A and B are shown apart, each in its own frame.
Chain A
Amino acid sequence: MTWDWSYAVQILPDLLWGVWVTVVVTAACSAVALVGGLGIAVIASIGGRTGRTCMRAMIELFRGVPILVLLYFGFYALPQIGLTLPPIAIGVLVLGVVYAAYCSEVYRGALITIPTGIHDACVALGLPTRVVWLKVLLPLAIQRSMPALINYVLVLYRQSAFLFAIGVPVLLARAQVAGYQSFRYLEPYTLAGLLYLLLNIPFVYLLHRYRMAHVEANA
C-alpha cells in the first residue's frame, strides 16, 4: 500500500475540523485548569490545616491514576449515579481538574517565593485581606507562574488526544473514523500526526516570546 494523495486530500477537511475541536477542547481544559488551580492554591494557603490536607489528598490521588481510567470513570460511572453529561463536558472536566491539581503546585510555589516584605508592607498599609489577595499577591503569583503554566497548556493540548476514547471528535478520533470507513490507515494517522506536530509551533512560539519578555523585564 502506498501513499494516495487524492485520498489524503479527500479526508483533509474532516481532519481540519478535528483540529478545530482539539483547539476548542484545549482552550476549555486550560481555562478549567488555570482557574481551578489558582482556586486550589488559594484554598490550600488560607484554609489552614484542613484545606491543605484536602488539597494534598486530591493532588496525590490524581498523580497515581491514569487519565484514561478517570475518563472512563466519568463516562461510564457518572451516569450510574444519575449525572449524565455530554462526552465533551466529561473530557474537559476530567482533564481540567487533573491539571488544576498540577497547576496548583505551580501557584503554590510562586506564592511561597513572594518576599515576606510584601506581606509586611500590606499589613503596614492596613489593606483589607481581599485587596491584598486580588491586587497584590495573586497578580504577582500569576506573573511568576506564567512560563510553567504555558507549559501545562502545551501538555494539555497533547493530552487532549485521549478524549477520543470517550468519543469526543478530536483530531485523533477523526483520523480513526476516516481509517475505519476506507480501511486505509496510513494517510489518516500520518496526517493526524503531522497536524499534531505542526500545531505545537504556535505554542512553542508563545512560550519562547513570553520567556524573552520575562528575561528582558528582569534584566
Chain B
Amino acid sequence: MMVAILQYTPAILDGLLTTAIVALLSIIGAAIVSLLLGVFRSAKRMSVRAAAGGAVELLRGSSALVYLFWAYYALPALMPGIPRFNPFTASITVLSLVGGAYGAEIVRGGLQAVPRGQFDACRALGLPPYQALTRVILPQALSQIVPGFGSLAVDMVKWTSIVSFVGVQDVLYVANSVRSITYETVAVFLVVAALYWVLCLFVSLAFHRIERVLPLNRALRASRQSTEAPLNGRPLSARPLVLQQ
C-alpha cells in the first residue's frame, strides 16, 4: 500500500522543507519577540511592564489558529491601502508573536532566577542598564531560559501545521493532496506523523547542543572538571518533561 505514495516522495519532501523553513523562521522570530517582551515585562517602569504584560496576555488568550485567520482574512479589510499579507509572511508573523508571548514568560522567569546581588553589583560598578543586561544578566539567565525555550520550540514545530489553512504548501498540505489522489489515508498520515516526530526530535537535540555552549554552563563545566572527575558528556541542565502548548 505504500507503493502508491512512494511516487509522491519529492512533493512530500518539498512540503517537509517548507515546514522546516516556517518552523525555523518562526522560532527565530519568537526568540526575538520573547526577549523583547520578557525584558519589558521585567522593566522598572510600571507603564512598560503593564503594556508588555497586556500584550502577552492578549497573545496567549486565544490559539495561534484564531490569530492566523484574523490576520489573513480580517486584517486586510481594516487596512485597505496596504497590500494583503502573503500566506507565508502572515504565518511567520503570527507564529512568532504567539510563540514570543509564551517565550516571554520563560525569559522573565530566567531573569528572576538571576541572584539579586548581580543587579546590585552592576549598579555599584556603574554599568549602564543596557550593558548590565547584555553583558551580565542575560548570559547567566540564558542557562535557565534555553531549556524552557527548547520545549517551546518543539511545540512551535507542531504549531506550524496550521499554516496549511491559509495556503502555505507545508507537509500537511501536500499530505492532504496526496491523500485525495491516492486514498492511501492511513499510510499518508503515518508518514506525516513520523516526519513531524523526527523534526521535533531534531529541534530538541539542536537545543541540547545550544545548551552545552551557553556561557554559564561552559563555565560551570570548566570549574567542575578542574575539581571533580570529568562529566561524561551530559548537558548540565535537565529538560522539563511537561510541555506547554
- Nearest residue (CB) in A for B155 is A63
Query: Shortest Cβ distance from A191 into chain B, in angstroms?
Result: 10
- Nearest residue (CB) in B for A184 is B77
Bound Cα distance from A187 to B211, whole angstroms: 45
- Nearest residue (CB) in B for A67 is B158
Report if B8 contacts A (CB, 8 A).
no
Total residues of chain B contacting the partner, CB 8 A: 40
Per-position binary interface string of chain B over residues 211-232, scored 1 when its CB falls under 8 Å from any chain A CB and 0 otherwise: 0000000000000000000000
- Nearest residue (CB) in B for A81 is B186
Give every chain B residue within 8 A of A68 (Cβ-Cβ): 161-162, 164, 172
Contact B74–A66 (Cβ < 8 Å): no
Within 158-201 of A, Cβ neighbours of B (below 8 Å) are at: 158-159, 161-162, 165, 172, 175-176, 179, 184-186, 188-190, 192-193, 196-197, 200
Per-position binary interface string of chain B over residues 175-219, scored 1 when its CB falls under 8 Å from any chain A CB and 0 otherwise: 010010000011001001100111011000000000000000000
Report if A105 contacts B (CB, 8 A).
yes
Report if A10 contacts B (CB, 8 A).
no
Contact A76–B179 (Cβ < 8 Å): yes
For chain A, what secondary structure do more than half of its interface residues adopt (helix, strand, loop), or is it mixed? helix
Interface stretch, picked from B42-50, B57-65, B127-135, is B57-65
- Nearest residue (CB) in B for A185 is B73
Report if B40 contacts A (CB, 8 A).
no
Give every chain B residue within 8 A of A123 (Cβ-Cβ): none
Contacting residue for A189 out of B73, B161, B241, B244, CB 8 A: B73
Report if A64 contacts B (CB, 8 A).
yes
Give every chain A residue within 8 A of B65 (Cβ-Cβ): 161-162, 172
**A66 with B158: in contact, given A185-B73, A190-B74, A193-B67 (CB under 8 Å)?**
yes
Give every chain B residue within 8 A of A197 (Cβ-Cβ): 58, 61-62
Contact A80–B185 (Cβ < 8 Å): yes
Bound Cα distance from A126 to B158, whole angstroms: 49
Interface residues on A, range: 35 or more
Contacting residue for A65 out of B63, B196, B242, CB 8 A: B196
Query: Shortest Cβ distance from B198 into chain A, in angstroms?
Result: 8
Report if B243 contacts A (CB, 8 A).
yes
Report if B118 contacts A (CB, 8 A).
no
Within 59-89 of A, Cβ neighbours of B (below 8 Å) are at: 61, 63-70, 72-73, 76-77, 80-81
Query: Shortest Cβ distance from A40 into chain B, in angstroms?
Result: 13
Contact B63–A200 (Cβ < 8 Å): no
Give every chain A residue within 8 A of B86 (Cβ-Cβ): none
Q: Interface centre among B164, B185, B186, B192, by most A CB within 10 Å? A: B185
**A1 with B77: in contact, given A65-B197, A66-B196, A158-B63 (CB under 8 Å)?**
yes
Report if B159 contacts A (CB, 8 A).
yes
Bound Cα distance from A192 to B66, whole angstroms: 8
Q: Interface centre among A65, A81, A176, A200, by most B CB within 10 Å? A: A65
Report if A155 contacts B (CB, 8 A).
yes
Contacting residue for B185 out of A76, A165, A175, CB 8 A: A76
Contact B62–A158 (Cβ < 8 Å): yes
Bound Cα distance from A185 to B77, whole angstroms: 8
Question: What are 28 A-B residue pairs whose CB atoms fall within 8 Å in the complex?
Answer: A64-B158, A64-B200, A65-B193, A66-B196, A67-B158, A67-B161, A68-B162, A69-B193, A69-B196, A72-B172, A72-B189, A73-B186, A73-B193, A77-B186, A81-B186, A102-B242, A105-B241, A155-B244, A159-B63, A161-B65, A162-B65, A165-B165, A176-B69, A186-B73, A190-B74, A192-B66, A193-B74, A196-B66
A residues at B contact (CB < 8 Å): 1, 61, 63-70, 72-73, 76-77, 80-81, 102, 105-106, 109, 148, 155, 158-159, 161-162, 165, 172, 175-176, 179, 184-186, 188-190, 192-193, 196-197, 200
**8 shortest A-B CB distances, which residue pairs?**
A64-B197, A185-B73, A186-B77, A66-B161, A189-B74, A66-B158, A64-B200, A196-B62
